[in-house]
Amino acid sequence: MPPAALVPIIVLALAYVAWIVRDILRSEVKHLPKAAWIAIAVLSIPLGGIIYLLVGKDQT
């Protein structure tokens, strides 16, 4: 697989992480501090963001 084929995947992953981090900074969170949620989201792409959306985001 040529390296150029990975560029769209990398761009989408970076956009996803940026969106999750922006959401964490703008929203109320549950269970952990915002810095911990950001670390989880950045270190475990995409699972960390999904866990944040399901468990950590305060829906109220």
Contact 33, 52 (CB under 8 A): no
Tell me whether residue 18 is in a domain: yes
Tell me whether residue 50 is in a domain: yes
Tell me whether residue 2 is in a domain: no
Number of domains into which the chain is organized: 1
CA torsion 7-12-17-21 (nearest 10°) is: 130
- In angstroms, rounded to a whole number, what is the distance separating the alpha carbons of residues 20 and 53? 9
- In angstroms, rounded to a whole number, what is the distance separating the alpha carbons of residues 26 and 33? 13
User: Whole-prediction pTM value?
Assistant: 0.85
| Domain span including residue 47 | 8-56
Per residue in 1-46, pLDDT (tens digit) is 788 989 999 999 999 999 999 999 999 999 999 999 999 999 999 9
Q: Is 57 helix (H, G, I), strand (E, B) or coil?
A: strand
Per residue in 41-57, pLDDT (tens digit) is 999 999 999 999 999 99
Other Cβ atoms less than 10 A from the Cβ of 40: the count is 18
